[in-house]
Structure 1
Amino acid sequence: MANSATAARRSAIYLLDQVLGEGRLLSECLAAGALDRLGPEDRARAQRLASETLRGLERADRLLDNHLNRTPALTVHNALRLGTVELCNGEAAHGVVNSMVEIISRSRKHGRLKGLVNAVLRKVAAEGPEAWPKMRVPRLPDWLRDPLTMAWGADAVAGMEQAHFAGAPLDLTLKPGATNPSGDVLATGSFRLQDAGQVSTLPGYKAGDWWVQDAAAALPVRVLAPKAGENVLDLCAAPGGKTMQLAVAGADVTALDVSEARMERVRENLQRTGLTAKVIVGDALEHEGQYDAILLDAPCSATGTIRRHPDLPFAKDGSEFGGLIELQTQMLAHAWGLLKPGGRLVYCTCSLLPDEGEVQIEEALEMYPDMSVDRDAVNIAGVDTDWMTEEGGLRLRPDYWADQGGMDGFYIACLNKSA
C-alpha cells in the first residue's frame, strides 16, 4: 500500500511539473500516457492529488513561505506543495512525509534536498492543519480575475472562486427509463453524485444507462429541443455528451470534430450507450450540407470549467483569447450557412467571458438579417429567470447553485433562421 501511495504521489508531482513548469493541461498529459503505468486506483489518486494541489496552491505556497529561505527547484517545490495540501486536509503525517522524502531522495538532481523536504513538511504537519481553514479562498490569476470582475463584479467572482476551490461533484445525464445511481435530481433534470468514486464501477455504467455530463453542459441540447427524425449537426462534438442527448431524442445526428482521438471517445460512448450517430472527423469550417438544426459548441477559453479543471488558470495566460474569439465568429458564420431556412441553431461556449458569448450574439444579430434570438427556447425547466440575458441568451456561472455544488460556466443562445 505504501509503495502504491508513493507511486501515485510521484506521478502527481510529475503532473504538477508539467502544468506549472511547461504550461501543459492535465488532459494533454493524460492523453500522452502520463499515468498509463499506474493501476486504475493509483491513476485516479494521482489525478486527484494533482488537482487538489492546484486548487489549494495559493494556500500551500503561503504556508511554505514561512519555512523556506528561497524557492527550491520546481520538482522539490511541487513535492512540498503536494505534501502540504495532503497534510492540511487530514492525511497522516508519517505517510505523507516519508513518501515525499523517498521521492526526492531517489532523484539524481534533487536527492540532496531530502533533508529539507523532511524538515519543512514536519513543520507544516505541526502548524498547517490549524492555519489552513483560516486562510482566504485561493484567487484566480490577475489575467483572468480582472476581466471577470469587470464583467460580473467582485462579489460574483469571489463566489466563483469559492466554487472552484470546492471542486465539482459528478453530474450524469440518464437515458429515458434508466435507474438513477443514488444521485440527487437537479432542477434541470441532471443527476448529481457528491462522492461518486470510480465512475466505471457505478451501477448502470456498463449497461450504458447514463453518461457523465455537467448539469450546465446538458442544457444546450435541451434549449435546442431536437425532434425525432430531424437532421441535426453537432459541431465540435467531442467528447460526445451532447451527441448522445441528440441521439436519445431520436434525431438523425451527424457528429463532427477535428480530433480523431477525441472522436474515438465519442464512438466508444455511443457503443456503450447503444446510441447511433454519424461520426465524422473533419474541420468544421470545411463541412458541407444542410441541416434542420445545428448545435455549435464552439472552441473557447474553457474558463467556465475551472471547478473541474483547476490546471487551466496555471497552464494558460489569456494570450489565445483573441484567436479563439475570431474562430468563434468564423464558425458561427459557416454554421449559419449550413442551416436550412426555418431552422434553428444553438450557439454555446463553456466560457465566462462575455466576448465569447453575449458579444458574439449581439454582433451576429447585426450581421445576419435573417437571424433572430428565440427567447422562449431558454425558458426551460429548472432555469432561473435571473440567468437570462439582455440579448436573449442564457448565462450560467459556477457560483450559481452554490449550496448544491455549483455548475460550469456556460453561455447558450438559440438562433432562428427566417424561412
Structure 2
Amino acid sequence: MSEGLAARRAAVALLLEATGSGRLLSDILADPTGPLAGLNGPDRARAQRLTLATLRRIQPADATIAPHIRRTPAPLVLAVLRLAVAELAERPQDAHGIVSEAVTLVRSDPKSTQASGFVNAVLRRISAAPVTLETQRLPVWLRRPLVQRFGKATVKAIEAAHLAGPMLDLTVRHSADTALWADRLGAEVLPGGSLRLAPGVQVTALPGYETGEWWVQDAAAAIPARVLAVQPGESVLDMCAAPGGKTLQLAAAGARVVALDASGARMERVRENLARTGLQAELVVADALEWQGATGFDAILLDAPCSATGTIRRHPELPFVKDPADLPGLVALQSALIDRAIALLRPGGRLVYCTCSLLPDEGENQMAAALDRHPQMARDQKAVAGWPGNWDAKGGGLRIRPDHWAERGGLDGFFIGAMRKSA
C-alpha cells in the first residue's frame, strides 16, 4: 500500500460513518474496532486531520463536484470525491498524487471498482483549475434562528470560525502558576487565565501532563466555573459533570464538590482526571432529576445537555448528526434540570446555568423562563461582570460565540447565566 493510502482509506470510512451513522466522530474514533483500527500513529493522525478538513468543506466540495456529474454517485465514491476535492483546495501542488490515490481507493473496493474511470475523469477536470472552496454554511434549521438573533454578518463570521477549527486550550490547576506554565509550554495566556497553544500538539507528551498540573479545556468552557467563583470550603454541586473539566476547576478552588452525572462510563474519565491532578470530589452516578442526595448547596453549576451547536468548530460532523426534532425535548430537559437545581440550592445560594449551544431557546430564553417560574431567583449580574462588553447576553448573562477572539483562534459557543436564590 502506498504511503498515505491507508490514512486516506480510513478517512473515507470515517466520513461515511460521520455522515451516515448518526454517531459523533469522537465516539467513532474511540471504537477499538472502528476505521482507525490497525493504523500506526502518524496514519491515525493524518486520517483524523483529513476527515475533519473534509467535514468542514463538504457543502462547498459538493458544489464543486456537482457541475461534473449527472447524478449523485454511491456513498463511497462520493466520500472519495469529497476528500480529494478538500485536499486539492489545500494542496494543489499535489494534485497528481491526490487524484491517483483517489482512483486507487475506488478501484480497490469491489463494489465501486467500475467507478474508477468516472472518479479519474471528474477529478482531472476539477484539478485543471485552482480549487477554491467557499465557507461552509450552517444547516437551515440552525442558520435561520441565528440570523434572526445575530444578523447575517455575524453568522458568516461564525461560519468562518468553524472553518478555522479549534485551538488547544489548557486550564492550570493552580492559577498562581499560570505564568510559569505559559512560559514552559510557550503558550498564550488568555483573558480569564486559560492557556492557548496551536493545535496538533501531542498533549500527553507536554510537560506537566503526567503530574496533573493542567488539563485540556476550551477557554469558553472554563468560564462558567469562574463565574460561579466558589470559595474554599463551600459545598458545590456540579450537575451533569462529565467529562469533568469544571469539576476539576471547582475542586482546585478548594470547594467540597459533588460531581453528578448519569453516565458511568463518562464519570470514569472524571475519576481518572481527579487522580492525575491530585484533586478530590465525591462522584455520584445517577439521574439528576431522580437523585435523592444532599441538599442545601452553597453553589451549583449546571452545564445542561444541549444541541452542542456551539462546538461545531471542533465537531464539524454535528450538522450531519443532530436532528432538529430533538430540540424541544432538550429544552424541556434543561427546564426540568434548572428546577431541580433550584430545589437543591440553599437560601442565598448561587446557580450558574450554561449550555454549549448557540440557540437562544437553550440559553437566554431558558434563563428568562426559569426566572419567571421561580420568583425567589434573581439574575446575578455582578457574577458576569468584567468580561468583554460584546459578550453581554440579552436579558443578562454571557453569550459567547465562535467568532469571538477570532484573531486569537476563536472560542466554543456558550451561554452562561448566573442566578442567586433569595435569603
- TM-score normalized with structure 2 length: 0.93
2:302 and 2:353 in contact (8 A); partners too: yes
Other-structure match for 1:123: 125
Kindly state the Cα deviation for residue 222 of structure 1 after the two structures are TM-superposed: 0.3
Q: 1:301-380, aligned counterparts within 5 Å?
A: 301-380=307-386
Other-structure match for 2:302: 296
C-alpha separation in 2, matches of 1:43 and 1:351 = 30
Kindly state the Cα deviation for residue 179 of structure 1 after the two structures are TM-superposed: 1.4
C-alpha separation in 1, matches of 2:84 and 2:206 = 30
Taking a change above 3 Å as real, the CA distance of residues 390 and 195 of structure 1, as seen in their structure-2 partners, is closer
3-state DSSP of counterpart to 1:320? helix
1:304 and 1:410 in contact (8 A); partners too: yes
Kindly state the Cα deviation for residue 350 of structure 1 after the two structures are TM-superposed: 0.4
Other-structure match for 2:103: 101
Kindly state the Cα deviation for residue 10 of structure 1 after the two structures are TM-superposed: 1.4
C-alpha separation in 1, matches of 2:224 and 2:402 = 16
C-alpha separation in 1, matches of 2:200 and 2:14 = 23
Bigger mean CA offset, 259-268 vs 299-308: 259-268
Bigger mean CA offset, 243-252 vs 383-392: 383-392
Bigger mean CA offset, 405-414 vs 35-44: 35-44
Other-structure match for 1:90: 91
Other-structure match for 1:17: 16
Bigger mean CA offset, 215-224 vs 80-89: 80-89
Kindly state the Cα deviation for residue 38 of structure 1 after the two structures are TM-superposed: 2.4
What is the number of equivalent residue pairs in this alignment?
412
3-state DSSP of counterpart to 1:319? helix
Is 1:247 the counterpart of 2:245? The answer is no
Taking a change above 3 Å as real, the CA distance of residues 42 and 273 of structure 1, as seen in their structure-2 partners, is farther
1:143 and 1:317 in contact (8 A); partners too: no
- TM-score normalized with structure 1 length: 0.94
Kindly state the Cα deviation for residue 374 of structure 1 after the two structures are TM-superposed: 0.7
C-alpha separation in 2, matches of 1:257 and 1:222 = 21
C-alpha separation in 2, matches of 1:258 and 1:246 = 19
Taking a change above 3 Å as real, the CA distance of residues 277 and 150 of structure 1, as seen in their structure-2 partners, is same
1:21 and 1:74 in contact (8 A); partners too: no
Other-structure match for 2:5: 6
Other-structure match for 1:179: 181
C-alpha separation in 1, matches of 2:388 and 2:19 = 38
Kindly state the Cα deviation for residue 16 of structure 1 after the two structures are TM-superposed: 1.1
Amino acid in the other structure paired with 2:208:
G
CA deviations 1:208-236 (Å, max 9, x no partner) are 22111111111000000011111111111
Other-structure match for 1:227: 231
2:307 and 2:322 in contact (8 A); partners too: no
Is 1:68 the counterpart of 2:69? The answer is yes
Is 1:388 the counterpart of 2:392? The answer is yes
Sequence identity percentage: 54
Other-structure match for 2:260: 256
2:88 and 2:131 in contact (8 A); partners too: no
3-state DSSP of counterpart to 2:128? helix
Kindly state the Cα deviation for residue 146 of structure 1 after the two structures are TM-superposed: 0.7
3-state DSSP of counterpart to 1:296? strand
Amino acid in the other structure paired with 1:159:
A
C-alpha separation in 2, matches of 1:19 and 1:313 = 10
Is 1:214 the counterpart of 2:218? The answer is yes
C-alpha separation in 1, matches of 2:228 and 2:240 = 16
3-state DSSP of counterpart to 2:300? strand
Taking a change above 3 Å as real, the CA distance of residues 36 and 272 of structure 1, as seen in their structure-2 partners, is farther
C-alpha separation in 1, matches of 2:124 and 2:382 = 59
Bigger mean CA offset, 296-305 vs 313-322: 313-322
Which consecutive unaligned segments of at least 5 residues does structure 2 have? none
